[in-house]
């Protein structure tokens, strides 16, 4: 492929092993790669100040390789995905690959995601900010930037695949089911799918780390980022308290029969299905089964009280042609959930009802329900809550009519 024929692709480089190998593979395949790091508010060190959104100055890799000359940085690599040290890691890899690298300031956009995160917890919901980051930034702002630099494609290090189905691009699960990230990608605009590349979709994590070692990339053994990047200590309540202190009002804790069991120190401390940290002893395991911000109450109960067969989701987005008002699928109600067989009913107003063949545990408002046909992602929506089932179903919603019912 000649220089004039090379297709330009913008690669989101986070400084981790996955995005680094994704960029390396695309360079090897002959693409004109442009690396992009998304700054989301972490202050950069002085050596990294040339990488700014103000002038889009390309970043040159820093010096400092190992004494053996293998080209591996002697800097200590930390787990992360959006800090200044991660930007330095991404910049170094871009220099090894010989590709231009830019860091753009997405602080305002990312701050809006954190605001939404705080709002959701204050409302007694449990959000998934990674999905919104993918939707609005990595496959939203990143596509806008690709247009600015004349790039036909955008690419990331996600474990998922894009393949043609019925003459149109479709989002598929990754070959490595243990690392599959299609759940957090359902919000991608369908029109964007044709411009997305996932170079790691056919690889396992071991394959990726092996490629990084073979290519001498300094991030080959960098730990995966496993927490929400703006909550590295996993103290979600702290983040919410900083932005919504008024949500932390003490209130009552009841059981499913309405008996007062104790007090809580603020609804943002809890999520549906939570068992630890309740501070209530009943002689048997109890779980959070309902959160009501209006009355500022928490309801707890047995594990059986968490079981529901039906949920309602809103803001539904389909990545395939509408398969009908009702259809069979499998659905996931959180990232680590094992997809379960269900019937999906598409309702008016961008909503859907999902009826599982078997009851599912801890259907949680604010999480995403993503639906699949085998390896193809149909789409998904945001869970409003489980449908009430008689006396159980605290925190649920009343069931709407089925299409035509």
Q: Specify the CATH number for the domain of residue 370.
A: 2.40.30.10
- Looking at the predicted structure, is the pLDDT value of residue 69 above 70? no
**Could you tell me which of 303, 272, 229 has the C-alpha nearest to residue 365?**
272
Give the largest CA-CA distance in the chain.
75
The answer to the question of residue 314 being in a domain is yes
Q: Residues of the chain with pLDDT > 70: what percent?
A: 84
| pLDDT for residue 83 | 65
Listed as own residue / partner, the contacts of 172-180 with beta carbons closer than 8 Å and 24 or more positions apart are 172/201, 172/375, 172/376, 172/377, 173/372, 173/375, 173/377, 174/198, 174/200, 174/201, 174/202, 175/201, 175/202, 175/203, 175/204, 176/203, 176/204, 176/205, 178/204, 178/205, 179/204, 179/205
159 and 45 co-located in one domain: yes
Lowest mean pLDDT among 59-63, 224-228, 247-251, 311-315: 59-63
Is position 231 within any domain? no
Q: In this structure, is residue 161 part of a structural domain?
A: yes
What's the CA gap between 282 and 301, in Å, rounded?
10
Residues 137 and 115 in one domain: yes
- Residues involved in catalysis: 133, 229
Range with lowest mean pLDDT among 62-71, 160-169, 247-256? 62-71
Q: Are residues 290 and 317 in the same domain?
A: no
Residues 136 and 264 occupy one common structural domain: no
pTM higher than the cut 0.85:
no
For residue 400, pLDDT over 60 is answered with: no
Same domain, yes or no, for 18 and 134?
A: yes
Question: Does residue 25 share a domain with residue 172?
Answer: yes
CATH of the domain at 35: 3.40.50.620
Residue 183 lies in a domain: yes
pLDDT, position 64? 31
Whose tokens are 């943002």? That residue is 268
Count the domains in the chain: 3
What is the domain extent for residue 267?
249-301
Nearest to 403 by CA among 344, 342, 322, 325: 325
Q: What angle do CA 280, 285, 286 make, to 5 degrees?
A: 60
Q: Over the stretch 97-112, which tens digit does the pLDDT of each residue have?
A: 999 999 988 888 888 9
In a domain, 347, yes or no: yes
CATH number for the domain harbouring residue 263: 2.30.30.280
Do 295 and 275 share a structural domain?
A: yes
When mean pLDDT is compared over 23-32, 134-143, 384-393, the highest value belongs to 23-32
- Residues 139, 159, single domain; the answer is yes
Same domain, 279 and 344: no
Q: What is the pLDDT of residue 3?
A: 53
């Amino acid at each position: 492929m000649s220089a004039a024929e090379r297709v330009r692709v913008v690669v989101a480089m986070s400084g981790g092993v996955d995005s680094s190998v994704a960029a390396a593979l695309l360079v090897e395949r002959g693409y004109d790669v442009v690396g992009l790091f998304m700054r989301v508010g972490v202050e950069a060190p002085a050596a990294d100040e040339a990488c700014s959104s103000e002038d889009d100055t390309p970043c040159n890799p820093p010096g400092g390789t190992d004494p053996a000359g293998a080209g591996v940085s002697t800097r200590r690599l930390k787990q992360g995905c959006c800090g200044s040290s991660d930007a330095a890691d991404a910049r170094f890899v871009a220099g090894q690959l010989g590709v231009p690298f830019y860091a753009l300031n997405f602080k305002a956009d990312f701050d809006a995601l954190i605001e939404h995160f705080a709002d959701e917890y204050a409302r007694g919901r449990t959000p998934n900010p990674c999905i919104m980051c993918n939707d609005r930034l990595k496959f939203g702002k990143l596509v806008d930037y690709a247009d600015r630099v004349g790039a036909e494609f955008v690419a990331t290090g996600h474990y998922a695949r894009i393949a043609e189905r019925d003459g149109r691009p479709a989002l598929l699960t990754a070959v490595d089911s243990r690392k599959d990230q299609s759940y957090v990608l359902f919000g991608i605009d369908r029109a964007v799918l044709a411009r997305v590349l996932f170079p790691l979709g056919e690889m396992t994590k071991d394959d990726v780390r092996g490629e990084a070692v073979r290519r001498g990339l300094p991030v080959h053994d960098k730990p995966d980022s496993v927490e929400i990047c703006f909550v590295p200590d996993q103290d979600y309540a702290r983040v919410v308290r900083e932005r919504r202190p008024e949500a932390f009002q003490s209130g009552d804790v009841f059981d499913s029969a309405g008996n007062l069991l104790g007090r809580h120190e603020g609804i943002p401390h809890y999520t549906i299905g939570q068992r630890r940290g309740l501070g209530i002893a009943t002689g048997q395991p109890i779980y959070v089964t309902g959160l009501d911000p209006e009355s500022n109450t928490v309801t707890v109960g047995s594990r059986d009280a968490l079981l529901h067969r039906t949920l309602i989701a809103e803001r539904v987005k389909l990545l395939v042609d509408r398969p009908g008002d009702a259809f069979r699928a499998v659905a996931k109600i959180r990232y680590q959930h094992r997809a379960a067989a269900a019937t999906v009913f598409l309702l008016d107003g961008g909503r859907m009802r999902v009826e599982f063949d078997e009851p599912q545990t801890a259907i949680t408002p604010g999480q995403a329900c993503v639906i699949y046909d085998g390896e193809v992602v149909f789409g998904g929506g945001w869970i409003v809550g489980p449908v009430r089932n008689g006396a159980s179903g605290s925190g649920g919603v009343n069931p709407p009519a089925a299409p035509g019912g």
